[in-house]
Amino acid sequence: LAERIDAEAGKPAQTRDGHAITLLINAGLSAQSEEFLASDAKGIGLYRTEIPFMLRDRFPSESEQIALYKRIFKAQPNAEVTLRTLDVGGDKPLPYFPIIEENPFLGWRGVRMTLDHPEIFLVQVRAMLQASIGLKNLQIMLPMVTSVSEVIEAKRLIGQAFHEVSEEAKLQGNTLYQPRVGIMLEVPSVLYQLPQLAKLVDFFSVGSNDLTQYLLAVDRNNPRVAELFTSYHPAVLSALNSIAKQCRAMGVPVTVCGEFAGEPGGALLLMAMGFTKLSMSAHNLRKIKWVMRNIVLTDAQAVLEHALQADTHLQVLESTNFYLESRG
């Protein structure tokens, strides 16, 4: 099987019946991604900037961050590069910025923290913009958005940083291009405000890990409830399907960047819903491409119809696995 998967390198990412899917990678340290980018991925769908922050003993300075982000653009000067602003808190602590809370997953994480510390946010966004001078492929993504007001405030700060960096660039005879700005869909409240949010952003990206955690009220890292944590839950599938439908109707670009996109059954169901961009860990990419190249989209849609009618995640798993096995 491994050999058959390796043989997929370089082949087009499309289903048997010719539906193309854009495969992107999730990264957090540039080195790990470069070799995969060269062959199979069309860019970075999620760069988790908190990972390099977590490996240090203090906040990286603006120039340190510029150097870091430049390395990513150097590997990917043309393909899309989605840099997510700092998503600390929850299960991702910074050793030098302790956050002690009783319910960290419901607490001060993602944009909630960085909007309370605009100096941290501005330095980071400035560094992203500096690193992208002369390039047109920067996408800035906001994690853990709950409300429209957070997006408005974050965009105001991004606008301020853009103005500053753009003036500096001009003095040096360089051009800073507008980044595209998007948000993660991972807090359930946003599912009910997609039209309002769509007016403010250029793209959405579904974080199926947190969306599953918050829809099911199941801690994604707690082994005691690990069996309850599943994106195959029919309620989660229904939420994902609704996102796909609404985004298609509104014409808003949407990616799925949670782990579900890197699982064969997950990718199958997401493609059937109509998601055409999937971002995943580099080590899953070829496997998913192989799955995709062996399925027929209309069959996948039938599997999805069945899954959406199912009572339990076990029934969903049974029908997705049955179909995947039938395809080899």
- Which one of residues 186, 204, 214, 281 is an interface residue with ligand PEP (CB under 6 A)? 186
- Which one of residues 8, 40, 150, 210 is an interface residue with Mg ion (CB under 5 A)? 210
Would you say 42 or 48 has its CB closer to ligand PEP? 48
Binding span for Mg ion by CB under 5 A among 28-36, 179-187, 237-245, 291-299: 179-187
- Which one of residues 72, 194, 257, 307 is an interface residue with ligand PEP (CB under 6 A)? 257
9 SS3 class: coil
277 binds ligand PEP (CB under 6 A): no
Q: How far is the CB of 175 from Mg ion (least distance, A)?
A: 33
The strand pairing partners of 141, in sequence order, are 84, 182
CB count, 10 Å around CB of 54?
15
Q: How far is the CB of 121 from ligand PEP (least distance, A)?
A: 17
Binding span for ligand PEP by CB under 6 A among 57-65, 73-81, 132-140, 207-215: 207-215
40 binds Mg ion (CB under 5 A): no
- Report which DSSP code applies to 203: E
Residue owning tokens 């961009």: 277
Nearest of 251, 125, 275, 122 to residue 199 by alpha carbon: 251
The entry of Mg ion, ligand PEP, none near residue 40 (CB within 5 to 8 angstroms by kind) is: none
36 to 65, contacts with ligand PEP by CB under 6 A?
A: 46, 48
208 binds ligand PEP (CB under 6 A): yes
The entry of Mg ion, ligand PEP, none near residue 109 (CB within 5 to 8 angstroms by kind) is: none
Would you say 46 or 307 has its CB closer to Mg ion? 46
Would you say 166 or 209 has its CB closer to ligand PEP? 209
219 binds ligand PEP (CB under 6 A): no
The entry of Mg ion, ligand PEP, none near residue 208 (CB within 5 to 8 angstroms by kind) is: ligand PEP
Would you say 76 or 85 has its CB closer to ligand PEP? 85
Q: Under rule CB under 6 A, how many of the chain's residues touch ligand PEP?
A: 10
- Which one of residues 193, 209, 242, 276 is an interface residue with ligand PEP (CB under 6 A)? 209
Q: How large is the C-alpha radius of gyration of the chain? A: 20
DSSP run (H or E) holding 139: strand 138-142
Q: In whole angstroms, give the CA distance from residue 67 to residue 35.
A: 20
Would you say 182 or 207 has its CB closer to ligand PEP? 207
Contact 85, 124 (CB under 8 A): yes
The strand pairing partners of 14, in sequence order, are 20
Contact 209, 215 (CB under 8 A): no
Nearest of 65, 77, 186 to residue 121 by alpha carbon: 65
Contact 271, 20 (CB under 8 A): no
CB count, 10 Å around CB of 122?
17
CA distances from 314 to 12, 227, 239, 322 (A): 32, 11, 18, 12
Would you say 183 or 269 has its CB closer to Mg ion? 183
DSSP run (H or E) holding 64: helix 62-75
207 binds Mg ion (CB under 5 A): yes
280 SS3 class: strand
Q: How far is the CB of 109 from Mg ion (least distance, A)?
A: 9
- Which one of residues 40, 210, 219, 263 is an interface residue with ligand PEP (CB under 6 A)? 210
Widest distance between CA atoms in the chain: 62
CA distances from 58 to 37, 53, 96, 212 (A): 30, 8, 6, 32
Would you say 87 or 150 has its CB closer to ligand PEP? 87
Residues engaged in binding Mg ion (CB under 5 A): 186, 207, 210
Residues engaged in binding ligand PEP (CB under 6 A): 46, 48, 87, 186, 207-210, 257-258
